[in-house]
Amino acid sequence: MKKSLLSQIAPYLLVFYGLSLAAFFAYALLTFSVNQYLPSLRMGYSLDRAFVLFMDYLIPVHAAAVAVAASLAGREQARLGAPAQRFSKIVSSTLVAFLLLTVAYTALYEGVYPRARARLSDMQYQSRLAQTYRKQAAERTSAGDFGAAIDAIDLYLAIDPGNKEMAEQRLVVAGKAVKQPAPAPAPSVEGAASAEESAEALIEKARSASARQDWYSANYYAQYAASLDPRRADAQRLASQAENMLSAASGSKDVKTSELFLQKRQAYSLLMSGDPLAAYYSFIDLAARDPKDPDITTYLAEASNKLKAVTFFVEDARKMETLPGAQGILFLNNNDAEGTEAVYLGKMVELTTGEAYFFDIEAIRYDAAGAVTWHFRAPYGMRTSSNAVLMHCISAADRKIQYLPQYLRGSRPEGDRNVLVMRPTLEELRALSTSRDALAVMGIAELWRLRTDLGSFGLARQTLTVDMAMQMLMPFAFLILSVLCVSLGWAFRSRHPGRLPFSNVLLMPLVPVVLALLSLLYLYVHRIIIGFVVLGFGFAVALVAVGVLQLALLAVALVLLAGQSAK
């Protein structure tokens, strides 16, 4: 035989791969739903969907291609009339090629495939979100709130920037909004004091401010130092001196100056009394009147920094909502003798800083007797570098806009009402998504590392173990079925050098279908076996059993291949 078996199989592999990709792409295009996805996502969706389907069915397609190619290779041998060679020599290069294809399959399955599935999930979420913004824009326009309508349109265009209809609608709404007074923009908030500064450093700042007759700063730094070290009499003395100077300044004969001083003092008092939210809005109003006043700029920044410990801005949250992220996260936050706490997150968007934004939060706690202790919903949440999730959301410029958790049953202590401490890490939260793609988009190494902790959050360890074992199995299945199908195809190869018999032609289209079904059955049987062993004997035994089974099947496949004759 002058041609190697590989040279005869390779063209069939390329044809089967190409035809299946084309078929899946056509299927994705035809089944694309404008009700679930934005029309502008049609091509991106079709490409990703086609690739995901191709990877889902690559093993059956590959097995069918190998078997068909091997069965037709005998015709080439008979047609050439070449002397028979040892079958080991014919098939050796094919085995090497199968090993290389297995490596390529593993790289695609662990690298590209999870990202494609994640993109599909993100497309669906962003499409739903865009429709929500579109509806909000229409409602705000009808209500005459053109500023809010423009904000909703801008959020929509951030997702679907090529939508000409929405771009034109923005121009129309912007023209109407010109006739309305624009809200004052939130001023920048920079230059606040660091909470880590020592009492001594703060006293030095207070003295420096006193020398400049900056009595607000002197009073602030002195009081801050006194709160850190109550024994510092000099801090209390400086604070008192600055307070007296502020009182004298408030009695200025200049009505405007006196009024400004009084308002600044009121805002300042709110800040010092521990009400940073009221202080922030007071300084916002003052900054709109006198944006260059250094006292206002400084304490607006300080109020903003103090706010970050208890709240966040809705403007930032809405910008993050348009970004891709994990969806439908459900987990047990606490599950002990005192009670059970379950949490649902509609969506999570992670930032590179280690922070994260959450949307559509719902949590419920049951006591040991099964009664509901509390149950709340919150539209927005933000997790800082700690595990605490803030759920008090405000507007940077409009004090009327505020989002708080809505308690449907029960309540919690005042200090805890707007904060939820979550035990899972951000990485674990990704894996706890109820989306069917949640575990599929995770690699074997990541599943292995998280397998123990995820079980404590309500994810069934058995399900996680079975999915992880199946991911480990896929490369072995690809290689073993490749070898088995070569043996099967070669054993039933055509020995007719001329035209194929009519019966063979009729049956040939059924061969890929039957082999594809058998390949899927092969994988399904493995899942049943793995599930049985995991439930009955645990993960360690299942891992050993899968390894032994794959080695045995590979040995059988190689023995069958070696038993084939070149004649």
pLDDT average, residue stretch 499-523: 72
Write the CB contacts of 399 (distance below 8 Å, at least 6 apart in sequence).
Answer: 281, 284
User: For residue range 351-379, what is the model confidence (pLDDT) as tens digits?
Assistant: 877 789 999 999 999 988 888 999 999 99
The answer, yes or no, to whether residue 423 has pLDDT greater than 90, is no
Domain ranges of the chain: 1-183+438-567, 199-314, 322-417
DSSP 8-state code for residue 193: P
Write the CB contacts of 313 (distance below 8 Å, at least 6 apart in sequence).
Answer: 393, 394, 395, 396
Confidence of residue 441 (pLDDT cuts 50, 70, 90): low
Confidence of residue 18 (pLDDT cuts 50, 70, 90): very high
With CA atoms as reference, report the closest residue to 42 among 118, 50, 320: 50
How does 439-469 read in b/e, with b if 16+ C-beta sit within 10 Å?
Answer: bbbbebebbeebbeebeebebeeeebbbbbb
Cα(283)–Cα(301) distance, integer angstroms: 9
pTM confidence score: 0.65
Tokens standing for 100? 């290389």
- Give, to the nearest 10 degrees, the angle between helix 294-307 and helix 255-272: 20
pLDDT score recorded for residue 438 = 57
pLDDT score recorded for residue 253 = 44
User: For residue range 530-553, what is the model confidence (pLDDT) as tens digits?
Assistant: 888 888 888 788 888 888 999 999
**CATH of the domain spanning 199-314, picked from 1.25.40, 1.20.1740, 1.25.10, 1.20.120:** 1.25.40
Q: Is residue 137 exposed (0-12), middle (13-18) or buried (19+ Cβ within 10 Å)? A: buried
Q: What is the CA radius of gyration of the chain?
A: 34
User: For residue range 266-314, what is the model confidence (pLDDT) as tens digits?
Assistant: 777 777 777 778 888 887 877 777 777 777 777 777 777 788 888 888 8
